[in-house]
Amino acid sequence: MTAPVWVGVSLKTYFGHARALAWLDDVAGIARETPAIASGAVRLVVVPTYLQIPAALAAFAGTDVRVGAQDVSAHPSGAFTGEITAAELAEIGVAFAEIGHAERRRLFGETDAETAAKAAAALTAGLTPLLCLGETERTAPEIAAATVVAQLHADLEGAPAGAVTVAYEPVWAIGAESPASLAHIVPVARALRAALDALPERAGSTVVYGGSAGPGLLTDLGGAVDGLFLGRFAHDPAQLRRVLDEAAARAGVSA
């Protein structure tokens, strides 16, 4: 079976609870009206805040939309006040755990070792790590590729076998006047794919792009990526629908 075209959305902490509930209802309606999601040709993943997760699971009940968490504890159950374990997330139906995001690394000082520990915890509990990678400085594509492949290996060191979803997000392009070019994204994404393909324990892994992604980019990137990881652009359900329609077209099915 052909792998689905992957479309993810992170809500970060932009929404209050009431607005998040309205957005989830709107997106659930879109999902139910999109045959490509029901057929499995398009995989939609929504990553709300921890407090919004139960509402997301309820909104998407009966659909093939998957729900992720924006972070996960590296620790098992026990005396770790304020943490949310991978086991509990899996128990309530969460499928993905976002780890290693540039904001977690920059604002909270998370290291590759901490990211690897979270990846291990996620995989042990049956969650798919949504591993965010990206170089901080603008460099030539071949240097960027070497940087993020090294980051990939460091962030999965010691993690048990299992598929991961890697989101390539060049940090230097976030908020920049012009996004990363196709000439930059494509070779880096292909290098990540080759690195994953060389690891038998990562069979079934996915590479997506998450830097200033919007309509048209999925088509332009072609087979270099398996999908997109969207941010604020997709906080407008109508804009998210545009990307889902594009993903359906790429999958060769009716939206």
181 torsion bin: left (phi>0), alpha (psi -120 to 50), beta (else): beta
Active-site position among 98, 110, 135, 169: 169
Neighbour tally for 11: CB within 10 Å: 21
**DSSP notation for 91-156:** HHT--EEEE--HHHHHHH---HHHHHHHHHHHHHHTPEEEEEE--SS---HHHHHHHHHHHHHHHT
| Cβ atoms 243, 228 nearer than 8 A | yes
Three-class secondary structure of residue 224 per DSSP: helix
Is 169 annotated in the active site?
Answer: yes
Residues 6+ apart with CB under 8 A from 65: 27, 28, 31, 37, 44, 45, 46
Active-site position among 101, 110, 184, 246: 101
Indicate which residues carry an active-site annotation.
Answer: 101, 169
